[in-house]
Structures are given as C-alpha cells and as structure tokens.
C-alpha cells in the first residue's frame, strides 16, 4: 500500500517515511503544499498524511482542492495546532482524521490503518486473487487454497506488488523501487532473497500458480 506524507519539517518527514516503510508501506514524501497536492493527484495513494502549516499552500487548501477535484483518498491532518476551530475547519474541509503534534507513533500508524481499512470497505475490488492466492490489502491477510500464510511486512508488500502486476515480468530494479523505495543496486541480492522467502512460505500451489524467474530480468507471478 502507498502512503503520501506532505510535511515541510525534513527531520519529521524522514522519521515518518522510515516508520511507514518499516511497516511495509511504499512511501512518497513532499515538503510543500503545492507539490504535495500535485503528487497526490498524480498518484494512486491509500492515504495522505498532511501537515497543516506548509509553504506553497497550507493543508486546508490541499485537502479542499483534493475533494473539489474528486479525489477520495483518506487524509489524516497532522499539525502542532490543537485549537478546536482548526480541527473543525480541517474536518469540514474534507480531512478524515486529525492528530495533534506531539503524537505517539503507534497511534498515528493505527489511525492511518483504520482510515485505509474503512476506505477499503467501500471498494469492491480491495481483495486480490491470483490462482489459489488471496490477499486482502486492508485486513493485511494472505491465504493459499484457503490456508492462512503469515508474512512479514516486506514479504507482504512484495507479494502485493507481484499480484497487482500478475502475468507481467517485473525487473529487479522496478521491484526494489516499489517495495523498498530505493534505487536498485546491481550488487545487492535483496530482491532475490525475499522472493526466495516468499516462495518457501507460499509453497507449491496445486493449480500451478508460481513466481517464475525471468533470467537476466526479474520475476513474474503466473496464475493457472
């Protein structure tokens, strides 16, 4: 799942990006209101974490523009301002939740997950299926032939990416960018290692579904 953080405090932005990545999210970061708005409109995000006081345009303007342009992405406003009027204005302007700085990281993560889960209830296509593999990105569950499979956050993100691109060959660099959010280093074998972890946990599937190696390129999840 993809998160967009719009925060002009570089230290806080880097901290939040690291925290969400460790939970298995793909994360993009914008440090101004206008660039954050453009990024939010151009990308398919599961949630936006939005600071209120921003250069370019403030958080109120960002969420108002998102809603006026038909974007329904859940938005959590994050700000040092705790006045009731600011909270009400943000929520009335289209924000879905509001958290005041300083905050506890576990609460922020839980609130974002709750927003994504509630939004998922409205989407008929939230569950992914390829052959006997079934993945629910909202509940964050995976099953193979109705048997639950426990995956780490990174394994889950890798499988979700492959399922969303089923029957398409994904290069190692594209996988690294989507799952690890960094430029691919040809000297590292992290993608191969995690594909191996994933294959072992999924096991041999009765209908022939498999993660196939495309020599010299990357991997492809093939359905039956």
- Tokens 């299926």 -> residue: 129
CATH class of 128-222: mainly alpha
80 or 155: which leads in pLDDT: 155
Whether the model pTM is above 0.85: no
The model's confidence at residue 124, banded by pLDDT at 50, 70 and 90, is very low
Domain ranges in the chain are 2-121, 128-222
In the chain, alpha helices (H): 10-22, 33-42, 59-68, 84-92, 105-121, 153-164, 172-180, 190-202
Residue 171: name the closest of 202, 215, 131, 201 by CA: 215
**Which H/E stretch holds residue 84?**
helix 84-92
Do 154 and 176 form a contact (C-beta atoms < 8 A)?
no
Looking at residue 121, its pLDDT comes to 52
The top-level CATH class assigned to 2-121 is alpha beta
Looking at every residue in the chain, the average pLDDT score rounds to 86
**Could you report the per-residue pLDDT of 50-75, keeping only the tens digit for each?**
998 899 899 999 998 888 887 888 99
Q: Residue 222 above 90 pLDDT?
A: yes
Lowest average pLDDT, out of 50-54, 94-98, 160-164, 174-178, goes to 174-178
């Amino acid at each position: 799942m993809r998160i967009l953080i719009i925060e002009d405090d570089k230290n806080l932005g880097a901290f939040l990006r690291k925290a969400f990545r460790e939970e298995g999210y793909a994360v993009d970061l914008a440090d101004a209101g206008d660039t954050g708005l453009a990024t939010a409109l151009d990308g398919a995000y599961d949630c936006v974490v939005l600071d209120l006081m921003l250069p370019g345009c403030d958080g109120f303007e960002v969420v108002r523009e998102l809603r006026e342009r038909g974007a329904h992405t859940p938005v959590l406003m994050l700000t040092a301002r705790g006045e009731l009027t600011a909270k009400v204005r943000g929520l009335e302007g289209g924000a879905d939740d509001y958290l005041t700085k300083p905050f506890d990281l576990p609460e922020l993560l839980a609130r974002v997950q709750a927003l994504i889960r509630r939004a998922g209830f409205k989407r008929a296509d939230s569950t992914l299926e390829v052959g006997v593999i079934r993945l629910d990105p909202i509940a964050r569950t995976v099953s193979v032939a109705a048997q639950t499979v426990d995956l780490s956050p990174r394994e889950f993100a890798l499988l979700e990416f492959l399922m969303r691109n089923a029957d398409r060959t994904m290069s190692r660099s594209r996988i690294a960018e989507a799952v690890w959010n960094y430029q691919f280093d040809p000297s590292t074998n992290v993608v191969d290692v995690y594909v191996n972890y994933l294959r072992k946990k999924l096991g041999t599937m009765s209908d022939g579904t498999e993660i196939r190696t495309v020599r010299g390129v990357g991997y492809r999840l093939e359905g039956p």
